[in-house]
Amino acid sequence: MKLTRITLLGAGLTLVGACSILPKSEPSDVYRLPAAPVSAFTSPAAQTWSLRLNKLQASEALNRPSIAVIPQGDVISSYKGSRWSDPAPVLMRNRLLDGFQRDGRVTLLSTDDSNFQADLELGGSLQAFQTEYQGPQAGVVVRVDALLVRGYDQRILASRRFEERQPLSDVQVPAVVAGFGQASDRLTAKVVAWAVEQGQKLAPAPRS
């Protein structure tokens, strides 16, 4: 019995020693989604309805901090040594929130990180958030299937697909990240304009 314990103890020490010489994982560069510079604008009339922004549904490949790239065919890969600060659905939700705040027409805003109830909810699915290669040409693709939902009963009131593509002349990661920012900004502006237009027609009337 004593010999068995000594043997096991020796094996355990060997494993501990082996763990100390395993190669360390490479450090990652963490990128945020860059935003366009703030431009001056006249403050529009604020809407009386409230809006909650939900994280977009996404496939497992996009629901992570990796910066996705499709180098050829249907193969989904990621840029080595680089990642987003948050998974792509969170980045896109936060970009939309920022877009509504910059627009200024909907001031009663919240996200699904809180339990606040809102008149309308904006959600849907993130279908693409990646770099794609077509032969030697590369470009960023951001595609969102947006849903506008009534808050109290979750009834879908409106839906629309949005897609933006940003060609890339430089395929180094910083330039790719900048391309994601440009495509996301254009898509955000279109989603905000659509959601405000739909909300003006579909949101419940304010109580007197």
9 domain-assigned: no
| Residue 73 domain flag | yes
What does each of the 208 residues of the chain score in pLDDT, given as a tens digit?
A: 444 443 433 434 333 344 444 445 566 899 999 987 766 555 678 899 999 999 999 999 999 999 999 999 999 999 999 999 999 999 999 999 999 999 999 999 999 999 899 999 999 999 999 999 998 999 999 999 999 999 999 999 999 999 999 999 999 999 999 999 999 999 999 999 999 999 999 887 766 5
Residue 91 inside a domain? The answer is yes
- CA Rg, the chain, in Å? 23
Q: Which domain holds residue 70?
A: 46-202
Q: Which two tokens stand for residue 208?
A: 């007197």
Residue 2 maps to a domain: no
Per the structure, the count of domains in the chain is 1
Q: Does 3 fall in a domain? A: no
CB 125 within 8 A of CB 162: no
Where would I find the beta strands (DSSP E) of 60-168? Answer: 66-70, 77-84, 108-111, 120-134, 137-150, 156-168
Alpha carbon dihedral 6, 10, 12, 17, in 10-degree steps, equals 160
Predicted pLDDT at 205: 72
12: in domain: no
Q: Which residue has the tokens 């109290």?
A: 152
| CATH code of the domain containing 179 | 3.40.50.10610
Which pTM does this prediction carry?
A: 0.84
Task: Flag whether 147 is in a domain.
Answer: yes
Identify each DSSP E strand in the chain by its residue range. 29-31, 50-53, 66-70, 77-84, 108-111, 120-134, 137-150, 156-168
> Is 33 within the bounds of a domain?
no
